[in-house]
Amino acid sequence: MRTFTTPELLHTTRTRWAAGTALAIGLAGPAAAQVTIDNDKPTTEQGYYTVEVESGGESRNATLRGRDLSDNSLTTTDVLFDYFSYVDVGNGAFRLDNATAGPTLDGDDRVVSSGSFTGSGGNTINWTVTSSIANGQSLYTNRIEFDAMTGTIGNLTFYQYLDEDVFNVSDDVFFTRGSAATNDLELFTLDGATGIGVSQGGAFTAAQGLSNASFIGYAADSYNDIKPRLTAGTQNVSPNGVIDAAALPQTNNELLDSTVRGPNDVVSVMAWQADAGATNAVVLTTLGGVADGSAVPLPEPGQFVINALPGDVITQSLYVEDENGTPLAITLLNQASFVGPDGALYRPGYSTIDRVITWDTTGREEGTYILDFNIRNASGQFDNGSVTVNLVPEPASLALLGLGGLMMSGRRRR
């Protein structure tokens, strides 16, 4: 059970339409402690989504109407405990919770807040966060803009921190879809008992909304491990994820029919770094309401994609089952080796007992390496599988303490 501080305890007991809260009715309103916006869906319809916006695009309250996969019923629930905006200019992260203007309703389901802080060069950095929900969409978007009043932005990292809670706090499950390398990474935290929850994402390219900033990675852990590291300036991130495997072990969630991490009280963070020499930078983050966990695409069984840094040690399980839970036979191809971008073969270690490959990528060039294998069932039917390793460059400004590979397992449906 959590021990709440006084502000958080007050949060758990306050009513949604508290005095001073501006309702999203499509008209500009005065500044308030919180401004509530929604996606204009009927409150009884699946996917109805509302977020109570605070300074810096932060929130402690988001309501979603979703489908409980355990009994197929519709339910409306708060899906958020903390959604915080942190900035680190080199001395530990602080929150954008001290707006000097706003939050103010600035249009149809759009809220603006702004303030300033002292940058790493001793200059003033102004910030403006525009928060919005598009009609009919269960997606909350923050556009965070930084402007240096003199000089340049300097050393500045933005962190979007998430602590999702649906019903019980300790049965969250965590998984990802897409990748930073393909500019479509999403972090999912769902309630393991109902399949309702949220997805965390953002912009990875200029075309998606970034300006003079780069995505540098994410991390996932259990409550309350990430917040103290953010404020101390010791939280590590990676494009492939820094995940506490002890707190979030891999398990199979039968409700979602997928390999997940947890269950636990999951927290996560995504990070972007501004270009130090720029005078302006823009980061865009998203918080999606997942009203039906079964609608989240499952990864293709037998197809594994790992995005890593040159020098990382890749550890990948090739364990694949049929629909009855029977392990399927695996045969490695191309002399049991990865085929590199230069056409050369690179042989990993492989344990035939637990079907795990281990590959030290030290000395390997950036690029894509593919290990193909055959999957065979008891009837002798074949299917194809592969492990794709994308070795991507490390951002020059990102220091990592070390990163292991992902271990995943898939279920082969026939």
User: What is the predicted pLDDT for the residue at 282?
Assistant: 98
Q: CA-CA distance, 362 to 380, in Å (whole number)?
A: 37
The answer to the question of residue 245 being in a domain is yes
What pTM does this model have? 0.73
Q: CA-CA distance, 17 to 3, in Å (whole number)?
A: 25
Structure tokens at 221: 């852990």
Q: CA-CA distance, 53 to 369, in Å (whole number)?
A: 44
Q: Are residues 318 and 402 in the same domain?
A: yes
Q: Are residues 355 and 275 in the same domain?
A: no
Residue carrying the six token digits 């303030």: 115
Q: Are residues 162 and 228 in the same domain?
A: yes
User: What is the predicted pLDDT for the residue at 315?
Assistant: 86
Q: Do 379 and 335 touch, CB atoms closer than 8 A?
A: no
The closest alpha carbon to 305, from 200, 177, 403, belongs to: 177
The answer to the question of residue 41 being in a domain is yes
Domain count, the chain: 2
User: What is the predicted pLDDT for the residue at 395?
Assistant: 46
The answer to the question of residue 249 being in a domain is yes
Q: Are residues 146 and 262 in the same domain?
A: yes
Query: Per-residue pLDDT for the chain (414 aa), expressed as one digit of tens each?
Result: 232 232 333 333 323 333 333 333 334 444 568 999 999 999 999 999 999 999 999 999 999 999 999 999 999 999 999 999 999 999 999 999 999 999 999 999 999 999 999 999 999 999 999 999 999 999 999 999 999 999 999 999 999 999 999 988 899 999 998 888 788 899 999 999 999 999 999 999 999 999 999 999 999 999 999 999 999 999 999 888 899 989 998 888 888 888 889 999 999 999 999 999 999 999 999 999 999 998 887 666 677 878 788 888 888 888 776 666 677 888 999 999 999 999 999 999 998 887 889 999 999 998 899 999 988 877 777 778 888 898 876 543 333 333 333 333 333 333
Structure tokens at 171: 């049965």
The answer to the question of residue 320 being in a domain is yes
Residue where a domain terminates, one of 231, 263, 295: 295
Cis peptide before 42 (omega within 30 of 0): no
The answer to the question of residue 291 being in a domain is yes
Q: What are the C-alpha distances in Å from 278 to residues 117, 121, 127, 274?
A: 17, 13, 14, 8
Q: Are residues 276 and 307 in the same domain?
A: no
Q: CA-CA distance, 290 to 212, in Å (whole number)?
A: 30
The answer to the question of residue 78 being in a domain is yes
Q: Are residues 308 and 275 in the same domain?
A: no
Residue where a domain terminates, one of 243, 263, 295: 295
**CATH code at position 131:** 2.70.98
Q: How many residues does the chain have?
A: 414
The answer to the question of residue 127 being in a domain is yes
Q: Are residues 62 and 145 in the same domain?
A: yes
Q: Are residues 203 and 230 in the same domain?
A: yes
Cβ atoms within 10 A of the Cβ of 388, count? 15
Q: Are residues 252 and 103 in the same domain?
A: yes
Q: Please return the burial class of 118, using the count of CB atoms within 10 Å of its CB with bins 0-12, 13-18 and 19+.
A: exposed
Q: Do 390 and 364 touch, CB atoms closer than 8 A?
A: no
Residue where a domain terminates, one of 256, 271, 295: 295
Q: Are residues 278 and 318 in the same domain?
A: no
The answer to the question of residue 1 being in a domain is no
Q: Are residues 286 and 311 in the same domain?
A: no
Domain of residue 378 covers 303-411
**CATH code at position 372:** 2.60.40.10
Q: CA-CA distance, 218 to 398, in Å (whole number)?
A: 12
Rg (the chain; Cα; Å): 22
Q: Are residues 256 and 324 in the same domain?
A: no
